[in-house]
Structure 1
């Protein structure tokens, strides 16, 4: 675990006290009185520090602790999804993902290391989950530590005086961390200076309002007043009400029963539509929302009907998420959100006709999986009931649904998908069923499998991990076994019991992988080589030179191309290697050293999805100006191939 503490150094300001010989160059101004200065450890200084403190609760969706926040960017894994959090918008996206009912609430894992930032902006690098949880467990919430309901509007500035009230500098502050550190430095007894805040200063409250203050007293009162908004939401904030109105259609009533089947649709461009049932035309008009001294006003204008009942200015007296109450004189209009009709349209628009193509089966009777995963139903974020039917009439009447949808044997070329919304509305979609001639072994045929380990200077035995030979292909197979002879592989007998640690004494040997899928099998050879891991004539200086001369691409990792999109930019002298692809940039460390076995490259602090596996020491076993082959010092079965590109 590494600890980093970052503070703004303002001590250079106080060096002016030592240069009394330069007094004629220092501006003499009217002495600031006691009410204008910022006194260390005073109530005002404490309020300002608490306002400028790092608010650790903003990212509790990540760490579950309000005592600290996680430094961004950070990468998390949610199930099979790798998610890089760059900003607050990404945090909201992560929250939406975790809110998905199909996602386990405990499914999120960090890609370590990460950095956490405490309320005082001190930082700690966290190396693993256990270390993080120890800090979470020690987190004790204290509402007096941070004032999160008020914010300074930057920049602000301070005037700095010496003991003779000579102005020696003006410090401009541009963010919370700089302000917090500035006030922290004032507590240092050695800094015998006087500072005053330059007014006016603007404070923004959590409810969106701002206030301008011109004295220390007004500033303290403004911050204390802001605390009443902490944890509370203003009921009727203009922007929130506007966004709520345009989200869905609204049922409305004035108590007369005249609008029972009508819905109001508030369009973002200020147009208003009032529809009735399934009518194809709607009553038109305009709407506008504005804030007044009396509250929020909704104005309906230029209506093509209902002018007497609805036109005019209505005062918003209640504004819940799904209910808005308006008054005009002695009239009351109650709006209730009705998202069903709009949601049905959005739901059905999410779908279309589908085609399922599967490989031809040995018995020539295709077996289709009509599950939600197969045709992408889970991508439509709404509640609905799907059912599959062999005829259009059955689908329309919701009769005779296909029972075993995940193993549906048929020779017919089309079935019908009925999507029924919560409202009871439904639509029918075509599902086309087709087959194709598939080569199940294409991946295995695409390259020659060669495993190499370094000659350890003895007569062996040498240990090979046979499973990495086709690691990129084996997930597509039903069963993969390994055999020492071709006849054994072809008959499927005498499989090697522990292929992860297969031992061999031969300098060159061939073993065989038997691959079974869809009741078919093929046999593929794996060449085992014992090689001299001396990197040829490349010296450590040669390696340093060719690494820093051009860019390098990780063309192979353990025989697969999983990391091929990562490129390496080795910086000369700094010990930094920039590792990047289209979505990720990582500043990692690198170094070379000469050992008895040869030249070793060490990678450190490689914090990124999948690529973090290269951390550690790698022996250069092959060296040319265009390519380096590296074997992990602790496990020679782990291999990296780097290809140089000077484009």
Structure 2
């Protein structure tokens, strides 16, 4: 290293100032000791930190804000050599680093280079090891205050130790002021200086403050240091940043519930929210506006509107992060979004080498491939591209001799490799290999086999022309001629038949009177069959279809039901529609089999739902037990279908009940959540209880209660543990309710009721059978142990 310390001419620098200012007339009053900028004082230190050299402007070069690399400098970025002559040239490095997503960004200097330290010392660095030593020492360097600057010129009066003015010094820059302050410290008090006020400072947000004393100056610098994170958020800049790349929600009120979702802010105002590798997305609209504050509005969301929709106030903005807040129910919800420019910058991330198949029915080794449908039809890509298919890699690279009709291509060998060229708007391209495989689709199943398979269980169309949009429909081949279709709120009957043809077994569907699923109408050749899975090709069109048999489990039913609340979508007894009698019923189910139903304004019915597999696992039976005014909904049911949004149950009566999901969560709010959190925290005991106005508190002596988060209440008397069901909710009249379900052993059956919460805090909860705190007929009090 070759140090070039500027301190060697500090004294000469100050002397020069003295000479230059002596001829000017300046009116100066003798200062008090408090007005002197004392060497090594807190004010001198703050001023020095404010004007120290700030090396953060070129962190992409050296990854250190305590040093700066003197320009020009020659660097190699990812094997590309460039000369950085100005600060604007640093963007060249960023462009090179951002060119590819899957490479490692490496920067190398052409040594020797010259760097500038915080104290304006220039040092010649000969190699990478010497540079690393300076970078590593940055942690020991004093902090630079970056968010406030002096407004120059400023003037110091110079005194001897008798406070007699000997001259004045005018300062024109940060460098001059830093050298001046260093010289004061070096004189050990032989020379005294005071600022000639007023002095002006300018903050990072553009505000200017004028100070008239040392204390005001110290306060102003300290205040600026506390607000160094200020970012001036502009609506136009935020809108541009949102469109540059996709964004991810790294924090939603402190949790990571949305971290797997990617947000795409399109230039036309459309918002797309995707999840993982799925091809479907949640739609919506976005807009950035500003009046007093900058606001990001998310509207018309097809999902999550209750969580993400509305006007979000931009609290903090950086190029790669936004902090947003919104008021919900007198609570402030904070969302932190971060930019993710590594996932979908080019269309190439949307594709990969893959294999597609086509059926050969006459076993000659040739088949027709629909490559556009099978490859491009399954791709959701937010980046524009041009695709072409070629029979050789050479043609694909040269972009010549593209296959004219890739959706009707007959293979020339089996297997055969086709080359897919994907070209981005900037002309860059990548080649992907598509392997074509011809499969022998002649089926060995007989007509009797197919009929037995179809009538053996319920079936879903898991693949129709390459996607699963018909999965929501369940098909029950209940007889030799009829099948019941259930799904998307619809139950309808279609007709079906089968026959043996020369090509194989053909299944025909007719009278399919439901949206979307009507696409299966027609004649279908069975091209592959096994118990539980059938593959078809249409004899009327180019459609293909895969159906799979589904045997439901008790866990699947309870997991589905416990995900949300459910309404009675349809209830029929002996083919008589009784749905209107249950329009005001809203069910909540829990994983511990507890079932709770809100009926009208303030009626609560409760009970259990239990399920088990029967007939060797081919059928799922469910028993719904519910008390009170809707007990007629209960009974032993067969589970006909389970979808994400619907559950269909049927008894032999016949009685058919269809429950539809409605995720309103109206019975839960901040109060119910708080009460449950209190209950979860530790053990409880019953300290007071009455039945029919007679105290029976002693029945619970020695019983320790523990409230589980899965709606289970454990009662432990030291000999055995009882398991009760419970829930805390708010009814439709706004009353807080506490439901306990148990019809077992003494004394716990006495607690079975839909109580009103009349008093509650973190250590005590008082329940009454009627909504009257003064009523003593039935009272139950829990207190924390």
Q: TM-score, normalised by structure 2?
A: 0.36
Structure with bigger strand share is 2
Q: Which has the larger radius of gyration?
A: 2
Q: Which structure's relative contact order is higher, taking Cα pairs within 8 Å and 6+ residues apart? A: 1
Q: TM-score, normalised by structure 1?
A: 0.42
